[in-house]
Structures are given as C-alpha cells and as structure tokens.
Amino acid sequence: MKVSNRKRVMVTGGAGFLGSHLCERLLEQGCDVLCVDNFYSGVKDNVTHLLPHPHFELQRHDVTFPLYVEVDEIYNLACPASPIHYQRDPVQTTKTSVHGAINMLGLAKRIKARIFQASTSEVYGDPEVHPQQESYWGRVNPIGIRSCYDEGKRCAETLFFDYYRQYGLDIKVARIFNTYGPRMHPNDGRVISNFAVQALRGEDITIYGDGSQTRSFCFVNDMIDGFIRFMESPSHLPGPVNLGNPGEFTIRQLAETVIHKVGGPSRLIFKPLPQDDPRQRRPDIAQAMEHLGWQPRVGLDEGLDHTIAYFRKIVGR
C-alpha cells in the first residue's frame, strides 16, 4: 500500500468567503484539505464544487467545541467577519474568537502542527496612526457594538503569542484588511457587496457618514497568495503581519466607481455613521514585502470588474 506524502491541511471557516478560496488553492497545490465549518455565516454552495475532489473533505463542526483530527497545518479562519453577521450574536462571536482559538491552539500543540490565525485590521480600532503598522497597539472601544469582534480577535492574538512563548508553538498571525471578490455574501453588509448589489438592482446607494472615510481593498486572489506565502515562511516569523492593499479610497469614490461600472439610475444617499466605525484604514505592508516578497497585484478597477460580474449572476442583471 502506497503511503501518501500529501500535506494534510485543515481550514476552519472553510466554507466562508476567504476559506473557500483557500481550500481551492490548497487543493490546486496538491494538499489533502479538511474544510471545517458550522455554516453560521459560511455557505455550503461555496465549496459544493470541491466535494467531488478525492482530496477534499467537509466536516460540520463549531470550533467553540474541541476537535480531534490529525493534520500537518491549521488555518484558523472561523469567525463571522462582517458587522451584520458578527453583531447578530455578539456573545457567540466572542466565543468563536476566544474559545475557538483555545481549542485550535490546543489541537496544534497536541499534534505539533503549524497554525495560522486570521486576525484583522479591526484590532487597530479607529486608529490615531496612519497607515497602520504592526507595531501600533490600536484604539479600540472595549464595550461598543463592534467589540465582540475587535476584542475577540485581539484576545485571540494574545493567546497565539502566549502559546508561542510558553510552548514554542509554530504560529502565524495575519492581520487581514478589507478583502473582496467572488463568493462574498450579497447580504453581508460589507461596503463593496452593498454597493454592487444596490447598483445592480437599480437602488440608491447607501453611504454611512459623509463618505470621506477611507478604506483599502484587497482582491481575494492576492489575499490568498499572502496567506500561503506567510504560512510557508520560516518559523522565526510568527507575525503579526499586515496583509492588504495599501491603495486608499474614500467610500464616496468607491460608490461613484461602482455606479459608473454598473450604469443605471442609482444615486447616493447618506445616513448616520455607525458607532465606532473607523475613519481611516490603510495597511503598511512593509513587513509582508520584506519578509514574504508579497504585495497585491490586482488593482481596484480590475477587481471590481470580477466582483460585479459575480454579483450580476446572483442578482440577475
């Protein structure tokens, strides 16, 4: 009997937007992939096309409970990442970030696996430093409506680095900035999906605040490249490392660009800015460029074309 030398990789949150793209890429690289998801915000349709693959396995599981499997690497992506999803059950969101991290770190320690944590630019909160470097500690409201996600991810980072220092665990902590592309959920409340769907439906585009707040948008293919390069980097580089596109745009610029690309009668309407919504968001990716040889290649114009084409199929226009 031939023993396989394929790398065994588990992706928690594997049926989500980023997770499904990661599973796909890992299969293309010849890995055995275990996709774990409880489908709270992940969608089975995202990975249906992978089910016939002989080296892909899908398991329904909630990471707030222990999981006992044998793998070589773990990508911990499990956690709702859009405000609509993570604010729907904030207690569960915190549990997913914190208990999930504890359970996945415990598993990695037991089986001696390298483990990747999908952290977030939200650990910087509403920053006083711009662009945001990994050395910046952040400005986060610990009791606001976004805190379940922001503080949950910050606590997860603490756990990862304590396991790194205390047990010598092989960790990789990535701080992910706004990412977009095909397989985004059309109703997840993120700005690009909101604008694209509203424009395709001929509805007015809703901007919260005056539209002067800025974001940086990374196309999903570039982000997955960053994940894999970071995971394959030497053990002495635990992170945290910013992964995102440093191109910075105002929300109004984004809305006007989407309307131009879609066409139609959409106008801009303005509503009050939600509590603790960051005014600025732009990654400093010097560390990723130096240590990983990584930087985004897909500009917003090209990425929006791919994303709008995806939503056009869903919306039917």
Per-residue pLDDT of the chain (317 residues; tens, 9 = 90+): 445 689 999 999 999 999 999 999 999 999 999 999 999 988 999 999 999 999 999 999 999 999 999 999 999 999 987 677 778 889 999 999 999 999 999 999 999 999 999 999 999 998 898 999 999 999 999 998 989 999 999 999 999 999 999 999 999 999 999 999 999 988 887 899 999 999 999 999 999 889 999 999 999 999 999 999 999 999 999 999 999 999 999 999 999 999 999 988 899 999 887 776 778 889 999 999 999 999 999 999 999 999 999 999 988 65
Determine the pLDDT at residue 2: 46
- According to the model, what pLDDT value does residue 276 have? 63
- The dihedral over CA atoms of 30, 177, 245, 173, expressed in degrees to the nearest 10, equals -50
What is the pTM for the complete model shown?
0.93
Residue 88 confidence (pLDDT):
82
Digit-coded pLDDT (tens) for 260-284: 999 888 999 998 877 767 788 899 9
- Encode pLDDT of 34-47 as tens digits: 999 999 988 999 99
Q: Classify domain 8-179+219-246+278-297 by CATH number.
A: 3.40.50.720
Q: Residue holding tokens 């945001």?
A: 132
Rounded to an integer, what distance in angstroms lies between the CA atom of residue 70 and that of residue 9?
9
Annotated active-site residue in 40, 75, 124, 149? 149
pLDDT for the residue 188: 80
pLDDT (0 to 100) of residue 1:
41
Nearest C-alpha neighbor of 154 from the set 111, 206, 205, 119: 119
Q: Is residue 310 among the annotated active site residues? A: no
Domain ranges of the chain: 8-179+219-246+278-297
CB-side exposure of 154: number of CA atoms within 13 Å? 18
Write out the two tokens for 227.
């994940």
3-class DSSP string for the chain: CCCCCCCEEEEECCCCHHHHHHHHHHHHCCCEEEEEECCCCCCHHHCHHHCCCCCEEEEECCCCCCCCCCCCEEEECCCCCCHHHHHHCHHHHHHHHHHHHHHHHHHHHHHCCEEEEEEEHHHHECCCCCCECCCCCCECCCCCCCHHHHHHHHHHHHHHHHHHHHHCCCEEEEEECCEECCCCCCCCCCHHHHHHHHHHCCCCEEEECCCCCEECCEEHHHHHHHHHHHHCCCCCCCCCEEECCCCCEEHHHHHHHHHHHHCCCCCEEEECCCCCCCCCCCECCHHHHHHHCCCCCCCHHHHHHHHHHHHHHHHCC
